[in-house]
Structure 1
Amino acid sequence: MTRFVVNSPNTEYTKQHIFSGYDYQRTEVDVDENGSISVTPITRKFVFKTKRTVPKLGVMFVGLGGNNGSTVTGGIIANREKIVWNSREGEHKADYFGSLTQASTSRIGNTRDGKEVYVPFSSLLPMVHPNDIVVSGWDINGLDLKLAMKRAEVFDYDLQRQLAPLMEKIVPLPSIYYPDFIAANQEDRANNVLNGDCASLAHLNQLRSDIRKFREDNKLDKVIVLWTANTERFCELTAGVHDSEANLMKAIAEGHSEIAPSQMFAVAALLEGCSYINGSPQNTFVPAIIQLAERLGLFIAGDDFKSGQTKIKSVLVDFLVSAGIKPESIVSYNHLGNNDGKNLNAPKQFRSKEISKSNVVDDMVQSNHILYGPGEKPDHTVVIKYVPFVKDSKRAMDEYTSTIFMGGRNTIVMHNTCEDSLLAAPLIIDLLVLTELMERIEFATPEPHREGEPNGYRLSEHPKLEFGRMDSVLSILAYLLKAPQVPKGTPVINALFKQRSCIENILRACVGLPPENHMLLEHKGRSVFGKEVRS
């Protein structure tokens, strides 16, 4: 593993923590009634504190036996065991391709002769390695993961053959099954469920007990619970039920019918001190659950993995709008044949997915008032069809029609074949690794600079600083999520490169590196920037 030390007077390495002083710069804008814009640069000092000890991490998947659950688990085992297998294309070695943290790099600067230096993203800060993650979880279907993997038809046969003895030992725990929230066509899979078809304290207590037992049996330091089960219909937000923590707990005790399974798992996870990630597009995070997470100082994140078509859309629309081209119509068609597609065949479940896919362009459109007037945005249609034959190999077809110079038209048509679970699995790994890392990062705002203190960071007096964690709604994970949850009053950012830059620059700040700005002024004018300046 590549390791590096930042040589800065504003960075301090101790046995337990990394402390980094950081000047955060932002621009504050005021617009008066005449439309005049006043811009004020603002600098705020922060101190970041990152625990260096990497814990033993466990994950509990809701939907462990589904395509995503079995693919992530099999992928972790294959990497841990260094499995090599053959397909008709030849020999393959286990990898984490598609993972931001495990398979991408970060530029940390230039050498004195101008050569750019890149390091593995995972080396920026001490992170959990996926090979060390312990896996368990729940599923409404009782197949062990060897059979679940075979049913999914995602991995090559030779890889399945080698994984089988290790996967058959993993059996999902009985889950809760509330038929009204998922498609009726899922009923034939539901053979591993707890008694009762609506919320109850008995269900909540059983889920909490499962989490505690998993933690104790495996001697884990932390557990994260992640929903990768079927998409639910949107729950009907109900006054006196979803609006406060107290009301939600009372409604669970009374067996209220409008509490979704994903909400039960979220409550159980939070009450057991676990972060909770929602990988499907339903509205799990009602006000009561956000309130519970905030009271306990725990993280929640969602919604819906951003793996294929939506990721491409967030790149392409960002490019078009940034280039001054006006997208007028976006039509997205999908067909897939896995169980996710079967569940989405039901109208209420499809509506949840449609909402998460449709809002992805809004912030990019709103960024350009030259192209779009108030309230104006492109026509945007999303279609999903279930075609069993294609199984996990999802087809996505998009048409982007834009207005260009002097009333011209430009149409881009794209066909994207995405092996759905093989794209989603590395995102799930990133969500786990980054969520755990965020649990070890705190920051504080120092008192104003005093005479004799370098840059006012007072790192030598860091015990006196009041450190706190990020908001409970962990919006830094937006890069990995289709409909990112953000704290109340916070703008939603969907532009992909902004989202990645956010993650990278926060991690850079934690070790005292400036944000990447790609100005490279030292290479823009040799007559101005001589060798002495560049060095």
Structure 2
Amino acid sequence: MSSVKRTGVYLIGALGSIASTVVAGALALKKKLTAPTGMVTCSQIFDGIELIEPADFVFGGCDIRTEADSRDIFERMAPVSPAILMEIKPELDEFHNNIDCGCAGNCGEAIENLVYPAAKEKSLEQEIENMRAALRSFRRKWGLDEVIVVNLASTEPPLELSERHCEIESFQKLIAGNEAAMVRASTLYSYAAIVEGCPYINFTPSNGALLPAILKMAAERGVPVMGNDGKTGETLVKSALAPMFAWRNLEVMSWEGFNILGNMDGRILDHPENRESKIRTKDHVLSKILGYSPHSSVSIGYVPSLEDQKTAWDFIHFRGFLGAKMSLQFIWQGYDSILAAPLVLDLVRFAELAKRRAEAGVMTHLASFFKAPVGVENHALQDQFRMLTDYAGKLRREGRG
């Protein structure tokens, strides 16, 4: 793989369950302790395409919490085999003990209450410069050719967008004027990443990350980006199942979704303003697929004892021939971090490949990985996945990748 460059992965929210599982998974793959089950890039579809190996990733990151929290996370990594954890513990501890201080500006009370006690308020330009310096330091320390930035932080409240978020010049004036209420921490992270030439993945629902001006900057500077909100559970099933009703011309009258989960994600989503961001990305899928809006609701409840487990129960009430009313129910139970981590590894591989190929801007072929894919209106899973397989076919025809 001579053309593949030495690549670092900088995780925002590095002390969280998903980030810890991403690193644990890459370490386990490197030591051949596990198979790449759940990684889309390891399916036969991508055989022969030159993708960087997760075992070769160099990990770094930042968080708003202290390193002490990492021990609690380690103790709660129940889905991971104790035998695997024992083998990778030294490297995982080293990762957790070398985390930069993150930013939580204008992210709401739920997130700001987690901040380092010593954190001080800085101007927007200072925050961005600190982030850029951290990325440069990470690159220098490990002799990296490329750094991929992945946002795995807690969900922020929705950011109400204005015309000033749409153009680069007006957005930069907003930053220079220190108008902190007009941005979230995710905005500053993505801005810093793109200015440093780092491909950026927003795995969170936070809409402040990939603003229109940020997307234009990425395209102009030759930086691949994609988001928003990793599609790992209920919405994954919904985007696969809803097209069936459309194909059979069955009328969906109601689709109700009930979700319960633990871990830090659940704790943050227990706050209404943060939960609203998540519901927005989950709730618009049906109308996009069906072409109409049935009665639907999505509820999210915090159950601490579940820790990293999440359960979704969906009830679908539909009408068929002669007006007969029928129903379908499904229950999805899984580990949040276990479902998300392999997708993060996939996305890093695709982002590195895109940068190596001099692709710029939104990576729409990655739509199937996200609940609210930027630049893509088609939410049917099979159509989104076809975009990815078409991309793989293009690479083969070009003899590149």
Per the shorter chain, which TM-score range? over 0.9
Q: Which has the higher helix share?
A: 2
- Structure 2: how far apart are the matches of 1:127 and 1:101? 8
Structure 2 letter corresponding to 1:105: Q
SS at match of 1:125: coil
Task: Give the conservation status (yes or no) of the 8 Å contact 1:140–1:192.
Answer: no
SS at match of 1:77: helix
Q: 1:152 to 1:345 in 2, by over 3 A?
A: farther
Deviation (angstroms), 1:328 = 1.6
Deviation (angstroms), 1:266 = 0.4
Moved more, 138-147 or 165-174: 138-147
- Structure 2: how far apart are the matches of 1:199 and 1:278? 23
Q: 1:363 to 1:124 in 2, by over 3 A?
A: farther
Q: Does 1:96 align with 2:20?
A: no
Q: Which of 349, 353, 356 is the equivalent residue of 2:278?
A: 353
Deviation (angstroms), 1:158 = 3.5
Larger RCO, structures 1/2 (Cα 8 Å, 6+ apart): 2
Q: 1:199 to 1:96 in 2, by over 3 A?
A: farther
Q: Partner residue of 1:485?
A: 374
Q: Partner residue of 2:100?
A: 173
Q: Which of 54, 62, 74 is the equivalent residue of 1:138?
A: 62
- Structure 2: how far apart are the matches of 1:509 and 1:482? 25
> What do residues 464-502 of structure 1 show as CA deviations (whole Å, max 9, x unaligned)?
xxxxx46x122111110111001xxxx511111111111
Q: 1:237 to 1:363 in 2, by over 3 A?
A: closer
Task: Give the conservation status (yes or no) of the 8 Å contact 1:62–1:229.
Answer: yes
Q: 1:239 to 1:509 in 2, by over 3 A?
A: closer
Q: Partner residue of 1:415?
A: 331
Q: Which of 104, 108, 131 is the equivalent residue of 1:207?
A: 131
Q: Partner residue of 1:90?
A: none
Q: 1:187 to 1:269 in 2, by over 3 A?
A: closer
Q: Does 1:276 align with 2:200?
A: yes
- Structure 2: how far apart are the matches of 1:62 and 1:185? 17
Q: Over aligned residues, Cα RMSD in angstroms?
A: 2.0
Task: Give the conservation status (yes or no) of the 8 Å contact 1:176–1:193.
Answer: no
- Structure 2: how far apart are the matches of 1:207 and 1:193? 17
Q: Partner residue of 1:503?
A: 388
Aligned length: 393
Moved more, 143-152 or 422-431: 143-152
- Structure 2: how far apart are the matches of 1:243 and 1:482? 22
SS at match of 2:313: strand
Structure 1 segment 28-427 matched on structure 2, within 5 A: 53-83=3-33, 94-102=34-42, 104-106=43-45, 121=46, 123-143=47-67, 145=70, 147-170=72-95, 171=97, 172-178=99-105, 180-182=106-108, 184-191=109-116, 194-196=119-121, 199-240=123-164, 242-258=165-181, 259-284=183-208, 285-366=210-291, 376-427=292-343
- Structure 2: how far apart are the matches of 1:68 and 1:199? 29
> What do residues 167-202 of structure 1 show as CA deviations (whole Å, max 9, x unaligned)?
111131101122x414x3445532276421x65211
Question: What TM-score do the two structures reach when normalised by structure 1?
Answer: 0.70
> What do residues 378-397 of structure 1 show as CA deviations (whole Å, max 9, x unaligned)?
11210000010111110100
Structure 2 letter corresponding to 1:181: C
Task: Give the conservation status (yes or no) of the 8 Å contact 1:331–1:381.
Answer: yes
For structure 2, the residue ranges without an aligned partner over 5 or more in a row are none
Structure 1 letter corresponding to 2:173: K
Q: 1:295 to 1:177 in 2, by over 3 A?
A: same
Q: Partner residue of 1:438?
A: 354
Deviation (angstroms), 1:288 = 1.8
Deviation (angstroms), 1:511 = 1.7
> What do residues 246-298 of structure 1 show as CA deviations (whole Å, max 9, x unaligned)?
23223223321221100000000000001111111121222221221122121
Q: Looking at CA atoms only, which structure, 1 or 2, has the larger radius of gyration?
A: 1
For structure 1, the residue ranges without an aligned partner over 5 or more in a row are 1-50, 84-93, 107-120, 367-375, 443-468, 514-535
Percentage identity across aligned positions?
Answer: 28
Deviation (angstroms), 1:156 = 3.5
> What do residues 383-414 of structure 1 show as CA deviations (whole Å, max 9, x unaligned)?
00001011111010001111111111220111
Task: Give the conservation status (yes or no) of the 8 Å contact 2:225–2:351.
Answer: no
Question: What TM-score do the two structures reach when normalised by structure 2?
Answer: 0.92
SS at match of 1:380: strand
